[in-house]
Amino acid sequence: MRVLVAHNRYQVRGGEDAAVARDLAALEQAGCAVEAVFLDNDAIASGLDRLRAAVGATHAPEGIARVMAAARRFAPDVIHVHNFFPLLSPGIHAAARSAGCATVQTLHNYRLVCANAFLMRDGAPCELCVAGSPYRAVRFACYRGSRIGSLAVARMIDHHRRAGTWRRDVDRFIALTPFARERFVEAGFPADKIRIRPNGLPDPGPSGDGARQGLLYVGRLSPEKGLIVLAEAAARAGLRVTVIGEGPLASALTGHPGLDLKGALPPDAVQAAMARASALVVPSLWYEGLPMVVAEAFAAGTPVVASRIGALAGLVAEGTSGLLAEPGDAADLASALGRIAGDPAAAAAMGREARAVYEREWREDVTTRALLEIYRDAVAARAADIPLTRTGT
């Protein structure tokens, strides 16, 4: 299998960039011939640069030309597109189809249906544009607080929706969770082309049967992550949560009696903290895409206390691999934290099930096999479609 990966990297390295890097390494280890074309947002420095990139997001000819030049030289069986915004654009799929290449698009976020990519507005979930007009984003300046930028992104969404890009030019989509798949199907994406495959995570090895202690939060310190609710819940429960991460709420949360802020820590220190904790807490107020901290906790045999919202409600099985609480409800979250802290035996049992879930669904060899099957499916679909394309039907 020859795989060409195309990815528009972010200015601040995040989860998508890390997932792409892991996939590349896993594919090479599986024996695939792999090449990657990276476009970098570092060149988008000024407001004018951002506006120019947003306006060109509907069809970015320079980015498409770079990928297709690599495709002509490398002759891939499949072109796998990760982030396309804004320097590559969804137009890459039509170019690849014209060249006879199978294409796969991973839906890391909701950019194809939502201008800000998060299905969130004013601190709460928002699905106005899922089945409705994407131009509603202009009214609320959903893209970086800019109506002009929001208009450009809405135009991209609307153009490719009307042009039939998703039904005609993409052979297979990868949704990270069943919840995400449902949102895209509701938005009109072809259900028969969407496969569910989570991002993989290398196995850190079992964490052992040592005593666990304390509650842990790992992530960005920002309002949508539910840190204010977590602080109140911890105080209500008379508990203290170790917090690893940075963000705009750091100064406001410093000194709170329910939180112990550690700042950013290196990956090995985070992994060690996961392995020691009684539970990881994910109190988000928005639709998380696929928070890899859940996979990391499960890999460490650590149960998760999460908000009952979006994908999280499906990732954590109530009473089996963790506990769920109503988003934004500090009292309900405090109750869940108290249950974990007050019953170490039950928490340990949930941790063992969490580890079993990781081994079945998230371990890298499992997700790599699933990815290769999606590639084979896409290649077969493109081969079956070529004769029809040539006859104009």
The CATH number of residue 93's host domain is: 3.40.50.2000
Q: Kindly state whether residues 128 and 267 are assigned to the same domain.
A: no
Distance between CA atoms of 79 and 106, rounded to whole angstroms?
Answer: 11
Same-domain status, 230 and 100: no
pLDDT, residue 393, reads: 36
Q: Is residue 393 part of a domain?
A: no
Burial, 61: exposed, middle or buried (Cβ in 10 Å; 0-12, 13-18, 19+)? Answer: exposed
Judge if 374 and 330 occupy the same domain: no
Is residue 167 in a domain? yes
Contacts of residue 58, Cβ cutoff 8 Å, sequence gap at least 6: 89, 90, 91, 152, 155, 156, 159, 160
Report phi then psi at 213, rounded to 5: -155, 135
The answer on 60 and 94 residing in a single domain is yes
pLDDT at 386: 63
Residue 206 lies in a domain: no
**368 and 355 within one domain:** no
Give per-residue burial for 154-180: e unless 16+ CB within 10 Å, then b.
bbbbebbbeeebbeebbbbbbbbbebb
Does 208 fall in a domain?
Answer: no
User: Could you identify the residue written with the tokens 């949508």?
Assistant: 224
Give the span between the Cα atoms of 228 and 312, in whole angstroms.
Answer: 19
State the total domains in the chain. Answer: 2
- Asked if 238 and 269 sit in the same domain, the reply is yes
Residue 281's CB is within 10 A of a number of other CB atoms, namely 31
Give the C-alpha separation, 222 to 250, whole Å: 8
Q: What is the pLDDT of residue 5?
A: 98
As a dihedral over the C-alpha atoms of residue 360, residue 362, residue 364, residue 366, rounded to 10 degrees, the angle is: 40
CB atoms within 10 A of CB 246: 14
d(CA 76, CA 81): 13
Tokens found for residue 59: 């069809």
pLDDT at 57: 83
* Paired sense of beta strands 279-282 and 215-218, if any: parallel
pLDDT score of 323 = 98
Q: Please tell me whether residues 43 and 116 are part of one structural domain.
A: yes
pLDDT of residue 389: 42
* Token representation of residue 19: 């997932």
What's the pLDDT at 388?
A: 44
The confidence score (pLDDT) of residue 387 equals 52
Range of 74's domain?
A: 2-200+364-385
The predicted structure's pLDDT at residue 390 = 40
Note whether 31 and 61 are same-domain residues. yes
220 and 275 share a domain?
A: yes
Token pair belonging to 307? 């908000």
Per-residue pLDDT of the chain (393 residues; tens, 9 = 90+): 999 999 999 876 778 999 999 999 999 999 999 999 999 887 777 777 777 777 778 999 999 999 999 999 999 999 999 999 998 999 999 999 999 999 999 999 999 999 999 999 988 899 999 999 999 999 999 988 989 889 999 999 999 999 999 999 999 999 999 999 999 999 999 999 999 999 999 999 877 777 899 999 999 999 999 999 999 999 999 999 999 999 999 999 999 999 999 999 999 999 999 999 999 999 999 999 899 999 999 999 999 999 999 999 999 999 999 999 999 999 999 999 999 999 999 999 999 999 999 999 999 999 999 999 999 999 999 999 865 444 343
Do 256 and 304 belong together in one domain? yes
Q: Is residue 344 part of a domain?
A: yes
* Cβ–Cβ under 8 Å, residues 153 and 143: yes
Q: What is the pLDDT of residue 45?
A: 73
Start-to-end Cα distance in the chain: 29
| Dist. CA 296–CA 277, nearest whole Å | 12
**Is residue 207 in some structural domain?**
no
Place of tokens 């690893």: 244
Global confidence as pTM: 0.92
Same domain, 10 and 105: yes
Residue 224, domain member (yes or no): yes
| Same domain assignment for residues 380 and 344 | no
Residue 392 placed within a domain: no
Cα–Cα distance between 281 and 257 in angstroms, integer? 17
Pair type for strands 194-196 and 172-175? parallel
Can you tell me which residue has the tokens 């992530």?
219
Distances (CA, A) of 332 to 96, 229, 235, 325, 378: 50, 10, 13, 6, 44
